[in-house]
Each structure stands twice: as C-alpha cells, then as structure tokens.
Amino acid sequence: MIYRETGQFKTSYAADQQIFPIRQDRIGIGLLLAVAFLVVPLTAGNYWFNAILIPFLIFALAALGLNILTGYAGQLSLGSAAFMAVGAYAAYNFQVRVDGMPVLLSFILAGLTAAGVGILFGLPSLRIKGFYLAVATLAAQFFIVWCLTKFPYLSNNSSSGVISVPNVEILGFTFDTPQSRYLLVLTIVSVLALLAKNMVRSTTGRAWMAVRDMDVAAEVIGIRLMRTKLLAFAVSSFYCGIAGALYAFCYLGSVEPDGFSLDLSFKILFMIIVGGVGSVLGSFLGAAFILLLPIFLDISLPALAELLHLPFDSATVSHIQLMVFGALIMFFLIVEPHGLARLWQIGKEKLRLWPFPH
C-alpha cells in the first residue's frame, strides 16, 4: 500500500537513472540523512559515538573499498587492513612532518599514497586470478605491516611503530568531542559513498563488473583489462587508506602496525560477504552486522550461560565468537550469497505487494 511505484512513470532516461528512482526511497534516504546529521548528534551518548557509530562508519568505508575491488571488480583481496595501515601512517607523516598542513589534505594525500601502494600490489592481478591473487595480497598484508614495524622513519622514530596522532583541527575548529568527530566522519563517509555509488553505476563500474564476470569477453569487446584492474586497486586502496586515516585520527587516536593485522582484513572480508558483495548498501549493512555481533554476544552469552547453568569465562566468549563468525559466513554463502543487501531487496519487493499476497 505504502510502498508502491504506481503513478511514478519515468519520462526520461535521466529520471530512470537516478540512484533512488522510487519516491518512497528518496523520502526514506532523506529521513535517514536527516536523522544521522541532525537528530543523532543531539541525542546519542558518548558510548554510542565512540564504540558504535564512529567505528561503524569507518569500517563501512573500508568495506566499501574492499567491495569495489572484490565485489565489483572480482579481484579477491586479503590485504585491506594493510592499505588502511598505509593510509593511517601516511596521514600521520604528512600531518606531523609538514608544518601547517591542513588535515583534510593529509587525508587525501594519505589516500593517494595508499592508492599508489595498491596499484603496486595490484600489478600481479594482470597475470594471476582467483585465490592465487588472494595469496599475493597476503604478501602485501604481511610485508606492509612488517615495514611499518621495522622502519622507524615511518613512525617518526617511535619504538615498535606505535603512533599517536594529534587532534584534528580544521580552520581553527578542533574536533575533540565525540559529536564533532562523528559529524566529521559522517560527512566524509557520506561523500565518498556517493562518489562510489556514482562510479559503480557508470561505465567504470560496468567495466569492473565485466572483468569480474568474464574477463576474456570483456577484453574482446574492447575493455582494457590492465587499466580496469589497476583502477579498481587504486580506488579501493584509496578508500581503505582514508578509512585507515580516520581510524587513527578520529577513532583510536593511537595505532600500531599490529592493529592492522590479517585478522582485520578477514573481518572486512566478512563484512562484504555478509552484507552483500557488489553492493554499496551491503558494505554498510555488513559493517553494522559484524561490528554489532561481538557486542551482542558479549551481552547475551553470559546471560545465556547463567540461564543454562553452564560454566563460563571470557575466553569462551571469544571462542564462540569465532565459531559464530565462521558459521555465519558459511551460512550466508550457502543460503544467500548476495548477503543482507539481497535480503533487503527481497524485503522491499514483498513490501511492494503488501498487504496483498501476490
């Protein structure tokens, strides 16, 4: 009843190509943005900002980056955390070593640095595919983290590579409250998400998907494989790099190379599998899910154990967490390979018919 397309005919191709062609969707996203930008900063508590909203946005950005590379362009990568690390450390170096460097510029340069590294480690994709490429990205993951730990120059000569970042200051305004940091991250992530959505809908996105689906055919119709693949690596690493910079500057405040380990790369991969590969919305849904799950388990498992009178300790929680992650991945791949995003789509389709059965 409510969610209907009746009467919404498109009379131009431009109208047909909007991101949100259905009016109800436009209203929905408008409300969401309004809530995110206006309501939340006034009502949410610090715990929410620091532990949930800010990391959610940052991980969603990283997941978006990985989704571009793996979901749209089909190049499997297990090294996304390493590119986040490059972004974090590059931003730190630019900010700390260059006097009066605007923070936003540091972020952008950090993203570009990550993009450069991404292109370098993406070169093998021209010759190798599938899980061979995954192993190559593992090389990036281990090597980059090792470099950041062992080359003192990169962490401004601190021991074992730990860096503490200064407060973010833009045009004299210091972002030192959770609300202000949240709004900064929200703005950056929203803008980048919009750019990503535009890219994947365009010729660029189609070229990526063509390479993913059948690269031999893509080549035959004139798509340049090298450029397309390397562009995917570059854009993806740019996004992960910015996410890494935000991770250091607006979330943790202090990072070390080991904080960007293989574990984090897997987490980000899980986000896109659960959320939906090849979907911008999926990156957000997956990030939310993977981020909230441990919190949910932390709360519910002790309660459950008490109810069932079972022995319990914190190690058990982490073991069960691993099991649940693993089981979820397998579940989603078996039951709904296109993840939560597809479930959302199916939900919307059912909503269009509601209250009628068909």
Question: What residues numbered 10-49 form the site for other proteins, per CB under 8 A?
Answer: 13-14, 17
138 lies in the site for other proteins, by CB under 8 A: yes
Label each residue of the chain as H, E or C.
CCCCCCCCCCCCHHHHCCCCCCHHHHHHHHHHHHHHHHHHHHHCCHHHHHHHHHHHHHHHHHHHHHHHHHHHCCCCCCCHHHHHHHHHHHHHHHHHHCCCCCHHHHHHHHHHHHHHHHHHHHHHHHCCCHHHHHHHHHHHHHHHHHHHHHCHHHHCCCHHHCEECCCEEECCEEECCHHHHHHHHHHHHHHHHHHHHHHHHCHHHHHHHHHHHHHHHHHHCCCCHHHHHHHHHHHHHHHHHHHHHHHHHHHHCEECHHHHCHHHHHHHHHHHHHHCCCCHHHHHHHHHHHHHHHHHHHHHHHHHHHHHCCCCCHHHHHHHHHHHHHHHHHHHHHHCCCHHHHHHHHHHHHHHHCCCCC
Among 315, 356, 357, 358, binds other proteins (CB under 8 A): 315
Binders in 105-124 for other proteins, by CB under 8 A:
124
Among 50, 102, 119, 149, binds other proteins (CB under 8 A): 149
Q: Which stretch binds other proteins (CB under 8 A): 30-38, 86-94, 181-189, 211-219?
A: 211-219
Binders in 330-349 for other proteins, by CB under 8 A:
330, 333-334, 337
Instruction: Give the shortest CB-24-to-other proteins separation in angstroms.
Output: 18
Among 9, 97, 203, 355, binds other proteins (CB under 8 A): 203
Output 101 or 223, the one with its CB closest to other proteins: 223
Output 25 or 219, the one with its CB closest to other proteins: 219
151 lies in the site for other proteins, by CB under 8 A: yes
Instruction: Give the shortest CB-176-to-other proteins separation in angstroms.
Output: 31
Among 27, 31, 35, 128, binds other proteins (CB under 8 A): 128
Output 71 or 244, the one with its CB closest to other proteins: 71
278 lies in the site for other proteins, by CB under 8 A: yes
Number of residues that bind other proteins (CB under 8 A): 71
216 lies in the site for other proteins, by CB under 8 A: yes
Q: Which stretch binds other proteins (CB under 8 A): 59-67, 91-99, 144-152, 170-178?
A: 144-152
171 lies in the site for other proteins, by CB under 8 A: no
